[in-house]
Amino acid sequence: MSAAQNGGAPAADGYRSYYGKPVLKEPVWEPIVPAYFFLGGTAGAAASLGLAARITGNAPLARAATYVNALAITASPPLLIADLGRPERFLNMLRMFKLTSPMSVGTWIVSASGLASGAATALELLGRMPRAKLAAEAAAGALGPFLATYTAALLADTSIPVWHEARRELPFVFAGSSAASAGAASALLAAPPQAAAARRLAVAGAALELVATALMQRRLGFLADPYRRGSAAKLTASSGALTAAGTAGMLVAGRSRAGTLAAGTLLLAGSLAKRLAVFRAGFESARDPRYTIVSQRRRVERRAARSQPSSRR
Amino acid sequence: MSPALNLGTKPLGWPQSYGEEAAPRMGFFTDTSICIGCKACEIACKEWNEVPEDNLVFSGQSFDNTGALSANSWRHVAFIEQNVPAATPTAEAELPEELRWLMSSDVCKHCTHAACLDVCPTGAIFRTEFGTVVIQDDVCNGCGYCIPACPFGVISRRERDQLPAAAGAEVAGLGTTHKCTLCYDRLKDGMEPACAKACPTNSIQFGELDELRERAGQRVQELQLQGAGEARLYGEDPHDGVGGLGAFFLLLDDPEVYGLPPDPVVPTRHLPEIWGAAVLAGAALAGAVVAAVAGGRK
Amino acid sequence: MFGQLRDDPLGLARSARSRRSETLRPRTDRAERVVKSVCPFCAVGCGQLVYVQDGEVSQIEGDPDSPISRGRLCPKGAGTRHFVTSPLREYRVKYRRPHGSEWEQLSLDQAMDMIADRVIKSRRETWQEQDEQGRRLNRTLGIASLGGATLDNEENYLMKKFFTAMGAVSIENQARI
Amino acid sequence: MGSNMAECHPVGFQWVMEAKLRGAQLIHVDPRFTRTSAMATRYVPIRAGSDIAFLGGIVNYILEHGREFREYVVNYTNAPVIVDEGFKDTEDLDGLFSGFDEETGRYDNSTWQYAGMEVRGAVQSDETALSGHQVGYGGAAAHMRRGEPPEEDPTLEHPRCVFQILKRHFSRYTPELVEEVCGCSREQLVAVAEALCDNSGRERTSAFCYAVGWTQHTIGVQIIRTAAIIQLLLGNMGRTGGGIMALRGHTSIQGSTDIPTLFDILPGYIPMPHAHEQQTLAEFVQQNASTTGWWGRLDAYMVSLLKAYFGDRATAENDFCFDHLPRISGDHSTYQAALDMLEHKVKGFFLWGENPAVGSANSRLHRIALANLEWLVVRDLVEIESASFWHDAPELETGELKTEDIATEVFLLPAAAHTEKNGSFTNTQRLLQWHFKALEPPGDCRSDLWFMYHLGRRIREKLAGSDDPRDRPILDLEWDYPTEGEQEDPRAEAVLREISGWDTEGRAVSGFGDLKADGSTACGCWIYSGCYAGEENLPARKRPGQEQNWVAAEWGWAWPLNRRILYNRASADPDGKPWSERKKYVWWDETQGRWTGYDVPDFGADKRPDYVPPDGALAEKAIAGRHPFIMQADGRGWLFVPSGLQDGPLPTHFEPQESPFRNPLYGQQSNPARKQRRHRLSPFNPTAGHKGGDAYPYVLTTFRLTEHHTAGGMTRTVPYLAEVQPEMFCEVSPALAAERGLENGGWATIITSRTAIEARVLVTDRLRPLQVQGSELHQVAVPWHWGSRGLVTGESANDLFGLALDPNVLIQEVRGATCDIRPGRRPRGPALRELVESYPHARQERHR
């Protein structure tokens, strides 16, 4: 075959494609979307931490977590709206409630927990109506974990192999990463003596994220290549290093304010880098037709092998 | 591994939500074995739907200067030049291979289970009374979720910077996503979609999906009897990963050669798994919080 | 959102339909008139339907009645609407004077008058009554014309008729090319 | 062959695809593997310009294997006719037929005549010296008794009968020779020949489709002639599913030939009168028509035309104003006109929807020619390159032209689109179809009908009262058409009615049979006569196809007399019975005593199949009941053409003007009668065997794309079409790309002795190297749609070609020249000319 017209002749690694063009379209989302994933996750986990702290009577930590939650969730809607092609139509998001759309479900979660968080924060600042505040904190705290994980569902519910095939692990990655960032942020805000729970959450979250990430990559097999090569690889490596260092730092920092500051910052950066890595990997995965074609072709062959002993090719 | 969700062979919510308004499911059967690659479909589509032109660059990829389906190209004719073993080897065959030039007009598949439709948060994408999948430009807010959801890479968002300066002035639908509507407006008047109407050789056939499937079955048999063993249907099976396509194809080579995924699956089929994992992970997070807080009280 | 409760719990079909979609009609419905025409490109002669709305061509597509084309069109035929409404189409007379570096405006009437004068003048200057051997010529080779294969028969007829009477013989069209 | 139907006539191609779905074989023979080849049952690559060799191979196969349709050949063709003793074939004279004059480069056809026939006078051969349109005149058989040639041998055994001459002439076109000349394999040739033979005869028919891939050669007419020979031998003419289909390129190019805007003919293929000291109308008729066949009524057609032109001023007394007509005396074709412009002989030029600055061979020469005019009127929808040359021609960049030095006065008058006027187009099947006005032309846009009518009106007003005899024809002209609307557009229907004709009472005539030579009828084009019969605009009939049978006789109107297949009497056997039930079309109904069938019989409706013309019968009455080809003087299909062609009675393979090979058949390299227009701006590449010939090692050919139309003025301006083929490119094989370092998607410069242009490179297996005369030949193919203006721009392929013309029709050879190609873009400015000058130019070579 000539050099110019590939004619569907196999590429070097044995699969065929249309001029090496992608089968899928890359998302049009900007990096503010993973930034939102990070903020939303942090807000959600912080809300839960706040609630737990409130229930256990750790008011300073509860306050710190509430502020973390409030900051993070307040920053979220502008990011979400800014990424729309028609931002003025953001309210159309509430036109339907669609179980089949993690973005729809997520929008309702963000809206509800945003309202609850807002109320809780306002009442915290005003120092009034403690029962109402508790109710608001309870609502935000209960929704929090899902605010942290629905974004993983959102990515998994696409056709992009590195996201879709990671559908079982990705929510755990996000859950862990959120716990790490919320814990770290709360630990930064709260006084060290009251922040132990936050530090523990940060460490536990980081551990969960690292383990889930490893499992995810193992399941993905060659589909995880975008984490190893290309633009997402650096982010992946950075995220891993930052999170590991942050975890270690958090473990040794104890009540040292400076240590917590350093470790917390590392963890926050690691968490953000993780979301960016996952995000970028999706683009790589969509851009290279190999991921789509080879994985599907293998599936076809497995099916063919199951239905009849000799496969076609 | 939990089994994938069985979504059935009919679109969800159709036809029942339309009651008496429901029409038979309409679709396309594109018989690529008679496609002459003229691109009348591309032009007729753009003329009717007022889709802006977006590319003035020579590709060097056979006669395909369109490249792919997008917000600005709702039909895309693929051109594949290839050498294949000669069908009728001559006694003194200098060329054991002969040239084959495959052409195929690609379009939105109007899947029975359409990922774009499922994930659309605003309801901008909906299932019409004809069983087709349409993006409503008056509703879409350009969130872009449908773009990576589609297993066929059909959809994209129309942005000003994709369009040549000349066209920049008054372009409709900027910032929203677009794709083939199967000429929803024409269908409402009993008219044929613009591409199918224009198609000189009837490679693009429009009609009731059931009838098209039957016709396609006969055609592929006929071709195979004529010795075209490589002829196969793509997307006609309602039991495949997307519940069958509303716009399906007769191909002469593997789908990926035409830029089509070999085994598309609507992500919605794994939704229980996805939601399940999200809930479990959420629970794990809650557990971690409880543990972290409780851990200190010992 | 509450429409989802009616046979569309997932909100995928009718409940998601907008008012605009509900009342959508093809724009050809709003055409003032539909005129039967013939494609202006190649010589197959495909039938075209020209839809006119608000004094402009709103759509051109194949005429299914044509036994030649059966409603089908090639890409050029399918693009005819933008051929007649091309962004590059000229609507006014343009004039370039000898040695000029710019186009100038001219009224159609004045242009016609100037052209008539030039025809008469060039014809006079280049008239050939007979050749060196004394054979009757009755003609001018000083005025030539090229084009006609994209024109109507009636137009070609008038061209040939007038130019012949004028004695211009170098009257040619694409058929030569 | 010679056509890329799927790409250039896609909607017509639906019928080919339909036939294929029903089991027909589709064979495509072409230098390039195109979208048509992709659909074909069999594709055969050949070298551009070698078509006669390939077709000749088929003729030879038919004759060698006795595959001709004997009954058809004996009765319907001139195969049995004995030819003059003096005739010498190319086999005898090393590539020349008898009668060639080395001095003038012309043939005298007196030895090509039927034996025993009176030879035509010198006046006659001069009259026919220019135009191939005169093929249809019935030519030499001017004085045949009862339409039958004097000597025939129905056994086809006589050594001088046409059949035997044909056999000898084509005997050298063996599969081996075809392989050597064309570069296809001998097996491929045989397979095609077999397929044609197997699918022809009583039960089956085969058709040829061609387009400008055949006409744009110095042997274009003879290529088509070879196909005609095959179709006559196989009995495929005048029958359903048979014939030779000319796929014409423009919407009414057929119409503009029938009602010509061509220098050498008048409407209905009547020749333009030539310069004579004195010639009466009667002499003109006598010298241009045969007495037998339908051309025998030329007097009636001519007088009716003059009546349509000059109305009451045309009387028997003044010879119907015959002397008002200008006389031609040589080549006044568009290429000659362009050369004359360079000499300032042409002062003024009208362009109507045509763009020679891109579309004519050696378009550079045409641009410079335009710059030498006094005035130019361009009528188009957009500012085409022929209107803009003074400010954006590539020659401004090279310094050959300077805007301020160009004296040409340019009028760009915007034209109305087809949607903005009423009128008829004649399609490639001779079908007139009316298109209705949808809206008024905007702004200054006007129809060409408006322009011509009002320009004529103004000129007549300005000349009114002139007593200069030279103004008489203008003032005597019948030029009074009703107008309508605010813009005073002439009524197109009134013009159509004049074309169709009327009698003394002003009633529309029913057809050319009604036309009289006494001045009692007027008719603007005799072959269109009857298109307004019964006062009805018949081309405007739009009875839906689905309400009619497959012939669809009530959709539009086909000339002549709404006949859809010409010479359809040949669809029946000599006794008038259909050759087969499957293929029945027109047949003799004995009970009614007339011809009947699905179509209007192209024959005397009540002329019995066994009719024998009486002595002294004239015109159509002199054609026997068994001879279908009623335009010919002898009623037969001509395998051998005694008169009407400039370059021989039989087709012969000649190399193109520019070729990398010597002609392997004869010492005569190229068509000896071809017309070479040499000019400082239009040299030729040296051909094979001459000094410098090897500087241009590749064959260059042009082509068209589905996405664009001709010179691009109608499509480069349409956004949606511009984007699907956005840039000028050239197609080369991977082997050539490797040889010359060309990269797919990169740039290449293509060079001939005229100029060099640049194009993007498309490296493709669709172009393959061919083995020709033992060496590997590469071909370079270029589309010719681009120019300097439009939404997408590119260099014009036509810049590359010279002016070598077919002698019969003066069409240029752009389908097989030679070139060189190198990687990268071309030099800019004056360096471009330096590059071109560094290549060799041909020395004067006359006819060989």
Q: Is the model's pLDDT at B93 over the cut of 50?
A: no
Asked whether D108 and D668 are in contact (CB, 8 A), the reply is: no
Q: Is the model's pLDDT at A81 over the cut of 90?
A: yes
| Architecture of the domain delimited by D675-837 | Beta Barrel (2.40)
Cα distance from B99 to chain C (closest Cα, Å)? 25
Number of A–C residue contacts, CB under 8 Å:
16
Cα distance from B124 to chain D (closest Cα, Å)? 28
Q: How many CA atoms lie within 13 A of D717 on its CB side?
A: 24
CB interface of B with D, residues 42-81, below 8 Å: 42-43, 46-47, 53-60, 62-63, 65-66, 81
Decide: residue C25, CB within 10 A, 0-12 exposed, 13-18 middle, 19+ buried.
exposed
Give the pLDDT score at D22: 94
Give the pLDDT score at C6: 75
Distance from C-alpha of B145 to C-alpha of B118, rounded to nearest angstrom: 10
Q: Does C53 touch chain A (CB under 8 A)?
A: no
Give the pLDDT score at D616: 84
Distance from C-alpha of D832 to C-alpha of D848, rounded to nearest angstrom: 31
Q: What is the largest CA-CA distance in chain C?
A: 99
Regarding whether B284 and B223 lie in a shared domain, the answer is no
Q: Do C68 and D11 touch (CB under 8 A)?
A: yes
Give the pLDDT score at A78: 93
Q: What sign results for the dihedral spanned by CA atoms D525, D527, D533, D536?
A: negative
Q: Is the model's pLDDT at B166 over the cut of 60?
A: no
Q: Do C152 and D421 touch (CB under 8 A)?
A: yes
Average pLDDT of span A63-83:
94
Chain C residues touching B48 at Cβ < 8 A: 59, 61
Question: Residue A309's pLDDT band (boundaries 50, 70, 90)?
Answer: low
CB atoms within 10 A of CB D443: 12
Q: How many residues does chain C have?
A: 177
Regarding whether B279 and B132 lie in a shared domain, the answer is no
Cα distance from D677 to chain C (closest Cα, Å)? 15
Asked whether A286 and A26 are in contact (CB, 8 A), the reply is: yes
* Residue (of B134, B115, B113, B137) closest to B125 by Cα position: B134
Give the pLDDT score at D361: 96
Question: Residue D373's pLDDT band (boundaries 50, 70, 90)?
Answer: very high
CB interface of D with B, residues 176-205, below 8 Å: 185, 187-188, 191
Identify which of B34, B39, B202 has the shortest CB distance to residue D724.
B39
Average pLDDT of span A295-299:
95
Distance from C-alpha of D525 to C-alpha of A31, rounded to nearest angstrom: 73
Q: What sign results for the dihedral spanned by CA atoms D174, D178, D179, D184?
A: negative
Q: Do B47 and C11 touch (CB under 8 A)?
A: no
Number of B–C residue contacts, CB under 8 Å:
123
Q: Which of A249-263, C33-47, D727-741 has the lowest mean pLDDT?
A: A249-263
Q: Is the model's pLDDT at D658 over the cut of 70?
A: yes
Q: Do C75 and B39 touch (CB under 8 A)?
A: yes
Asked whether D622 and D62 are in contact (CB, 8 A), the reply is: no
Q: Do A98 and C10 touch (CB under 8 A)?
A: yes
Question: Residue B91's pLDDT band (boundaries 50, 70, 90)?
Answer: very low
Give the pLDDT score at D487: 95
Query: Which residues fall within 8 angstroms of residue D6, CB to CB, at 6 or more apart?
Result: B36, B38, D13, D16, D34, D35, D36, D38, D39, D706
Q: Do A18 and B286 touch (CB under 8 A)?
A: no
Fill in the amino acid letter for A37. Answer: F
Region label for B243, one of left (φ > 0), alpha (ψ between -120 and 50) or beta (otherwise)? left
Regarding whether B189 and B232 lie in a shared domain, the answer is yes
Q: Do C12 and B39 touch (CB under 8 A)?
A: no
Distance from C-alpha of A37 to C-alpha of D199, rounded to nearest angstrom: 71
Which residue on chain D is closest to A3 by alpha carbon? Answer: D734
Which one of B1, B155, B293 makes the best mutation probe of the A interface by having the most chain A beta carbons within 10 Å?
A: B293
CATH number corresponding to C31-86: 3.30.200.210
pLDDT in tens, A86-137: 999 999 999 999 999 999 999 999 999 999 999 999 998 898 888 999 999 9
Q: How many residues does chain D have?
A: 848
Q: Do A3 and D765 touch (CB under 8 A)?
A: no
Average pLDDT of span D682-704:
94
**Above 0.90 for ipTM, yes or no?**
yes
Give the pLDDT score at D124: 39
DSSP H helical ranges for D234-289: 255-258, 281-288
pLDDT in tens, B179-224: 999 999 999 999 999 999 999 999 999 999 999 999 999 999 999 9
pLDDT in tens, D611-647: 999 988 888 899 999 999 999 889 999 999 998 899 9
Structure tokens at D169: 């002439």
- Residue D354's alpha-carbon distances to D256, D660, D721, in angstroms, are 13, 33, 19
pLDDT over 90, % of chain D: 91
Which one of D250, D405, D523, D792 makes the best mutation probe of the C interface by having the most chain C beta carbons within 10 Å?
A: D250
CA D623-D626-D632 angle, to 5 degrees, is 40
pLDDT in tens, B234-283: 999 999 999 999 999 999 999 999 999 999 999 999 999 999 999 999 99
Identify which of B42, B60, B66 has the shortest CB distance to residue D745.
B60
- Superfamily of domain D46-249+564-643 in the CATH hierarchy: Dimethylsulfoxide Reductase, domain 2 (3.40.228.10)
Question: Residue A7's pLDDT band (boundaries 50, 70, 90)?
Answer: low
User: The tokens 């100029």 sit on which residue?
Assistant: D755
Q: Does A91 touch chain C (CB under 8 A)?
A: no
Question: Residue D136's pLDDT band (boundaries 50, 70, 90)?
Answer: very low
Fill in the amino acid letter for D503. Answer: D
pLDDT in tens, D212-242: 999 999 999 999 999 999 999 999 999 999 9
Q: Map residue C141 onto helix, strand or coil.
A: strand
Report domain extents, chain D: 46-249+564-643, 675-837
Give the pLDDT score at D120: 47
Average pLDDT of span D544-565:
97
Question: Residue B98's pLDDT band (boundaries 50, 70, 90)?
Answer: confident
Give the pLDDT score at D137: 45
Q: Is the model's pLDDT at D537 over the cut of 90?
A: yes
Identify which of B17, B191, B199 has the shortest CB distance to residue C13.
B17
Question: Which H/E stretch holds residue C57?
Answer: strand C56-62
Q: Does D280 touch chain C (CB under 8 A)?
A: no
Question: Residue D39's pLDDT band (boundaries 50, 70, 90)?
Answer: very high
Question: Residue D38's pLDDT band (boundaries 50, 70, 90)?
Answer: very high
Question: Residue D119's pLDDT band (boundaries 50, 70, 90)?
Answer: very low
Distance from C-alpha of A224 to C-alpha of C69, rounded to nearest angstrom: 53
Q: Do D35 and B103 touch (CB under 8 A)?
A: yes
Region label for D825, one of left (φ > 0), alpha (ψ between -120 and 50) or beta (otherwise)? beta
Cα distance from B200 to chain D (closest Cα, Å)? 5
pTM score of the predicted model:
0.95
What is the tally of structural domains in chain A?
A: 1
pLDDT in tens, B101-127: 999 999 999 999 999 999 999 999 999
Cα distance from C16 to chain B (closest Cα, Å)? 5
Distance from C-alpha of D182 to C-alpha of D193, rounded to nearest angstrom: 15
What is the tally of structural domains in chain B?
A: 2
Q: Which of A13-17, D384-388, D466-470 has the lowest mean pLDDT?
A: A13-17
Report domain extents, chain C: 1-29, 31-86, 114-176
Which residue on chain C is closest to B117 by alpha carbon? Answer: C12
Q: Is the model's pLDDT at D416 over the cut of 60?
A: yes
Higher pLDDT, D845 or D126: D845
pLDDT in tens, A147-186: 999 999 999 999 999 999 999 999 999 999 999 999 999 9
Cα end-to-end distance, chain B, whole Å: 38
Q: Do D17 and B201 touch (CB under 8 A)?
A: yes
Residues of A with CB under 8 A from a CB of D: 1-5
Which one of A94, A97, A104, A111 makes the best mutation probe of the C interface by having the most chain C beta carbons within 10 Å?
A: A97
Which residue on chain A is closest to C4 by alpha carbon? Answer: A96
Q: Do D763 and A4 touch (CB under 8 A)?
A: yes
Q: Is the model's pLDDT at D123 over the cut of 50?
A: no
Q: Map residue D767 onto helix, strand or coil.
A: coil
Whether the link from the prior residue into B15 is cis, omega within 30° of 0, is: yes
Can you give the CATH number for the domain in which A82 is found? 1.20.1630.10
Which residue on chain B is closest to D730 by alpha carbon? Answer: B60
Which one of D35, D430, D452 makes the best mutation probe of the C interface by having the most chain C beta carbons within 10 Å?
A: D452
Give the pLDDT score at B88: 54
* Residue (of D620, D516, D640) closest to D113 by Cα position: D640
Q: Do A148 and B293 touch (CB under 8 A)?
A: no
Give the pLDDT score at D633: 87
Q: Is the model's pLDDT at D324 over the cut of 50?
A: yes
Q: Do B185 and C25 touch (CB under 8 A)?
A: yes
DSSP B76: E
Q: Is the model's pLDDT at A23 over the cut of 70?
A: yes
Distance from C-alpha of A205 to C-alpha of A178, rounded to nearest angstrom: 7
Average pLDDT of span D90-101:
96
Which residue on chain D is closest to B77 by alpha carbon? Answer: D724
Give the pLDDT score at A12: 66
Identify which of A1, A149, A293 has the shortest CB distance to residue B82.
A1
Which one of D763, D767, D768, D778 makes the best mutation probe of the A interface by having the most chain A beta carbons within 10 Å?
A: D763
Q: Does D823 touch chain A (CB under 8 A)?
A: no
Asked whether D231 and D77 are in contact (CB, 8 A), the reply is: no
DSSP D484: E
CB atoms within 10 A of CB B61: 23
Structure tokens at D575: 């006794």
Regarding whether B297 and B160 lie in a shared domain, the answer is no
Question: Which H/E stretch holds residue C143?
Answer: strand C136-146
Identify which of A18, A27, A175 has the shortest CB distance to residue B144.
A27
Question: Residue D844's pLDDT band (boundaries 50, 70, 90)?
Answer: low
Q: Do B199 and C77 touch (CB under 8 A)?
A: no
Q: Residue A232: which domain range?
A: 32-307
Regarding whether B163 and B48 lie in a shared domain, the answer is yes
Given a contact as 3+ CB pairs under 8 Å, which chains touch B? Answer: A, C, D
Q: Residue B224: which domain range?
A: 16-265
Can you give the CATH number for the domain in which B158 is found? 3.30.70.20
Structure tokens at A105: 């479900």
Average pLDDT of span A250-265:
89
Q: Do A175 and B281 touch (CB under 8 A)?
A: yes
Q: Map residue D770 onto helix, strand or coil.
A: strand
Q: Does C18 touch chain A (CB under 8 A)?
A: no
Q: Please name every residue paired with D763 in a beta bridge, in sequence order, or none if there are none.
A: D732
Mean pLDDT (chain D) is 94
Q: Does A95 touch chain C (CB under 8 A)?
A: yes
Distance from C-alpha of C173 to C-alpha of D352, rounded to nearest angstrom: 9
Give the pLDDT score at B178: 98
Given a contact as 3+ CB pairs under 8 Å, which chains touch A? Answer: B, C, D
Cα distance from C21 to chain A (closest Cα, Å)? 16
Chain B residues touching D769 at Cβ < 8 A: none
Q: Do D720 and B43 touch (CB under 8 A)?
A: yes
Give the pLDDT score at B163: 85
